[in-house]
Amino acid sequence: MENKTQTPDKNIPTKNGMYHQMNGFQKFLMMCSGSNIHILQKSPSEWNKYAGIGGIVLFTAVFATLSASYAMFTVFEDVWISAGFGILWGLMIFNLDRYIVSSIKKTGSFWNQFFMAVPRLILATFLGIVISKPLELKIFEKEVNKQLNTIIQRNKTELQKTMNGRILQQSGPFAEEKQKIQKQIATYQASYDSAAVELEKEILGTKTGLTSGKVGFGTNAKRKSELKEQRRKDLENYQKQMEPRLKYLDSQISGVYQNLQTEKKNSEQAENKFDGFAARLQALSELGDANSIMALASFFIMMMFITLEISPVLVKLISSVGPYDYLLDKTENDYRLYSKEKIEKGNAATDFRIEDFKNNLGK
């Protein structure tokens, strides 16, 4: 029979004196499960269960690392920054999952355990959704890129409509005034043209209500010639008077158009870069709304990761109480009793010193 007092940490004696060996990989997986390795060494029958739980926690952290790395790459487009943030996020998820699993104690009734596990299940579900979305984007990358192009073209069309509306709004007062001036010029031009026609009819002897019907340049023709000349001067004077104003109005309209064209160009350049994480989520959402197959596939992928995330909690919850749970409860109870005993001894010693001090004062 071997001396059990010299048993190494990795060797656990059985009833017949043989030893179970806990290899390094098993120990690592059990550490991932958030269990107490020292206590687990005393309960070999629980090793496989906690190694399995630890494996799920580990793979969840790996998927979280890949998910966060891809999400950050769509933002920074830098491999090292994305990898660094992904590893940091994976470690955070790893630590959080270990805490969630280790915080579930197999004590009390099933319903007590269930109500204790509900907040942890909700948190695990949320983490599963967060982890699944970037990986969904990667899985459906081709479809998402195609939908992004559709969204970009749609946004450009909306941008063009908005710009046209703003051009009309901002250049409207200038264009309206210019139109009034041009209308007045057209009125002067029509008056001049009318006078020229009447003069020509008068000279040719064409009989109308406004002409005498006599051929040649007579008195009426002379009077109509003076009228034509006067209307020509009125037209030229008004054109000359309005020329600076028309140039000013044209410059204002052109300035509005150029400013909005520059703004439109900058906006279109920004639209061409509309491929960030939020844009891809929008594209994925629109694909799901338009295509029931895509929506179903996306739903099952999300459920797969949610199941993966909550499975350690469920395994811990539905599994029967084992040796590890009894030993853990006993260890925690021993510490509680030890702490209570130390407190009571400290209180008793304090009471003794107080009583002794009072006796000395009485003497």
Question: What's the pLDDT at 10?
Answer: 44
Which letter does DSSP use for residue 11 in this model?
Answer: E
Three-state SS annotation for 93-109? HHHHHHHHHHCCCCCCC
- As a whole number of angstroms, the distance between CA 253 and CA 265 comes to 18
Q: Where are the strands (E) in the chain, listed by range?
A: 11-13, 19-21
- As a whole number of angstroms, the distance between CA 38 and CA 9 comes to 8
Residue 43, number of CB atoms within 10 A of its CB: 19
Question: What's the pLDDT at 363?
Answer: 57
Burial class (CB in 10 A: 0-12, 13-18, 19+), 81: middle
Q: Decide: 159 and 340 in contact? Cβ < 8 Å.
A: no
Query: If DSSP codes are grouped into helix, strand and coil, which group holds residue 19?
Result: strand
φ/ψ (deg, to 5) at 131? -70, -35
Longest dimension (CA), the chain: 158
**How does strand 11-13 pair with strand 19-21?**
antiparallel
Which letter does DSSP use for residue 295 in this model?
Answer: H
Q: Decide: 101 and 34 in contact? Cβ < 8 Å.
A: yes
Question: What's the pLDDT at 20?
Answer: 58
Percent of the chain with pLDDT over 90: 2
Question: What's the pLDDT at 68?
Answer: 84
- As a whole number of angstroms, the distance between CA 279 and CA 151 comes to 9
Which letter does DSSP use for residue 321 in this model?
Answer: P
Q: What is the pTM of this model?
A: 0.55
The list of the chain residues with pLDDT below 50 reads: 1-19
Q: b/e for 279-316, b at 16 or more Cβ within 10 A?
A: bbbbbbebbbeeeeebeebbeebbeebbebbbbbbebb
Q: Give Cα separations from 214 to 59, 146, 194, 201 (angstroms).
A: 110, 81, 19, 9
Query: Which helix (H) or strand (E) covers residue 184, if one does?
Result: helix 141-204
Question: What's the pLDDT at 88?
Answer: 92
Question: What's the pLDDT at 193?
Answer: 87
